[in-house]
Chain A
């Protein structure tokens, strides 16, 4: 099947990843900090106001409200995100798994595909 030795996991492999994380985080922090330290700040009430075509803004910015339809899209996104996650280990050991793996993944994918088709027909993804 597969040897246990091949599975031994070594940390040094992860050090480049760690450096990447550190660089990315450091870059964000540096830019935010730099802007705060170096940038000129001369605020006044008019300048801080939200721009609304020269009108005085009404209410708060949150008031626009988001329709529940967006939520359905978010749910679908998560569902297919999870599906993709499951497909990944299957794809990696595809050859060893053979037909049993193929069939079980097919059932899974087809079921979710029917769900997607159902959502499509229900107009979840259509904007008017």
Chain B
């Protein structure tokens, strides 16, 4: 039943390293006194860096653990995005964690556990692993959202996140049960295999697929299941928002792609109409809601919803030709980096002004710290999809893929709503460059060096990938 070779433990090294780092953080916190605070960061950093190394240079690939995990190109790309976000937050989030008095050991260990869940989700070979990965990442994130529960909105955010999240998990599990009932297996490969011989026009299968889809769409905040996202993103600590709006979304999207495109691909007729409808609704609702926000965090939250819509186009394209999966994976990296950086920088900037994450807080930024203003501008332009940034290339691939797959209308809608989105991204840029700071406001104090560093690196990476997209595309296209 289980010889050692089918375990293929070495391919799981990145997950194991991250989980081990989380365990060590707890142990260090329990053994040492509070003076060991610096240790948490170093342990996490070491764990993430080594995991990233073994993700990009894997010792072993392929199916592992009797087929419950599969390390292919999809897993590699997903893991890279997740670990890159973790690294970004570790390097750039230190001052935020200190200033808000977030308990460091708990934050670091929970984020590492959440990452373990995400990584096992993107490399899942079985519905059971998919569910366990989602639960590990969700439970960790619920707790992380509640780390600042003394603050206004903090508890509400955590509770909303928990309620909607567990609701979504229920849908997901129910759908999995129906699919298992129909195919008699939970292994993703075996499901795909059995669907080739079974009649896919069956209500159990269709119902199961749709319920699972609803569960996933909740998790990635796609309209009409997106209502929780703005409140949760707004109320959670900025560094947690930066984590869940990027890494968790990337993991959930990769998981969605893994379950639907290869495994349930034979039943695509059942779920494609719903996915297309949701994509259209998401792009419209997300972008138009973002137009009217006064809060930077909420604006980014709605923009995140809109981007989930664009990414769905990629999934739609991949369902007709799996080569288009690369465009989804390609876009996840710039999307995750930009949002990770912007939530952190936005919090740091707002702290020096109103403290309420208002768009107005950006007024007059360029006069005092032009470098930071330039970096933010690059990030926002990339989010808007303006060349020569990676955001443009990513959107281009996504929309081209949708056209290839015959969803011309959706692609047009994507382009039109992207044009709308330029307005609210530009608004921040205009505030930063062309508005004066309100009278009597103190001059800016320089931001934490680590934060500026990761912002700079991300902006640089966005430009580099915008000009040479093959650097990252060659990794994502190996699937």
Contacts and interface: CB of A to CB of B under 8 A. Distances in A.
Direct contact of A and B (CB under 8 A): yes
Interface of A: 1, 100, 111, 114-115, 117-118, 120-122
Contacts of B56: none
A121 B26 CA distance: 11
A66 to B, nearest CB: 18
B1 A114 contact: no
Interface of B: 1-2, 4, 7, 23, 26-27, 29-31
A92 to B, nearest CB: 16
Given A114-B23, A115-B26, 19 more contacts: A1-B1, A100-B2, A100-B4, A100-B7, A111-B23, A114-B26, A114-B27, A114-B30, A117-B27, A117-B30, A118-B26, A118-B27, A118-B29, A118-B30, A120-B30, A121-B29, A121-B30, A121-B31, A122-B30
Tell me the interface secondary structure of chain B in the complex: helix
Contacts of A111: 23
A90 B31 CA distance: 30
Nearest to A121: B30
A117 B2 CA distance: 33
A27 to B, nearest CB: 37
Contacts of B29: 118, 121
Nearest to B7: A100
Nearest to B29: A118
Nearest to B2: A100
A1 B1 CA distance: 9
Nearest to B19: A111
A121 B29 CA distance: 9
Nearest to B33: A121
Contacts of B1: 1
Nearest to A98: B2
Contacts of A117: 27, 30
A126 to B, nearest CB: 14
16 contacts: A1-B1, A100-B2, A100-B7, A111-B23, A114-B23, A114-B30, A115-B26, A117-B27, A117-B30, A118-B26, A118-B27, A118-B29, A118-B30, A121-B29, A121-B30, A121-B31
A1 to B, nearest CB: 7
B276 to A, nearest CB: 41
B112 to A, nearest CB: 13
Nearest to A1: B1
Which among B23, B27, B30 has the greatest number of chain A C-beta atoms within 10 A? B30
- Give the interface centre of A100, A115, A118 by most chain B CB atoms within 10 Å: A118
Contacts of A120: 30
B143 to A, nearest CB: 11
Contacts of B2: 100
Contacts of B31: 121
Q: Which 3 A-B pairs have the closest CB atoms?
A: A118-B30, A121-B30, A118-B26
Nearest to A115: B26
B43 to A, nearest CB: 13
A122 B1 CA distance: 43
A75 to B, nearest CB: 11
Nearest to A122: B30
A76 to B, nearest CB: 14
A56 to B, nearest CB: 36
A118 B27 CA distance: 7
A121 B4 CA distance: 38
A26 B7 CA distance: 52
A65 B4 CA distance: 54
A1 B2 CA distance: 12
A114 B27 CA distance: 6
B128 to A, nearest CB: 15
B142 to A, nearest CB: 13
B237 to A, nearest CB: 20
A115 B19 CA distance: 13
Nearest to A117: B30
B330 to A, nearest CB: 36
A116 to B, nearest CB: 9
A122 B106 CA distance: 11
B321 to A, nearest CB: 40
Nearest to A100: B2
Nearest to A110: B23
A122 B322 CA distance: 50
A113 to B, nearest CB: 10
A118 B106 CA distance: 11
A111 B136 CA distance: 15
A120 B31 CA distance: 11
Contacts of A114: 23, 26-27, 30
A122 B7 CA distance: 37
Nearest to A118: B30
B111 to A, nearest CB: 16
A94 to B, nearest CB: 15
Nearest to A116: B30
A67 to B, nearest CB: 16
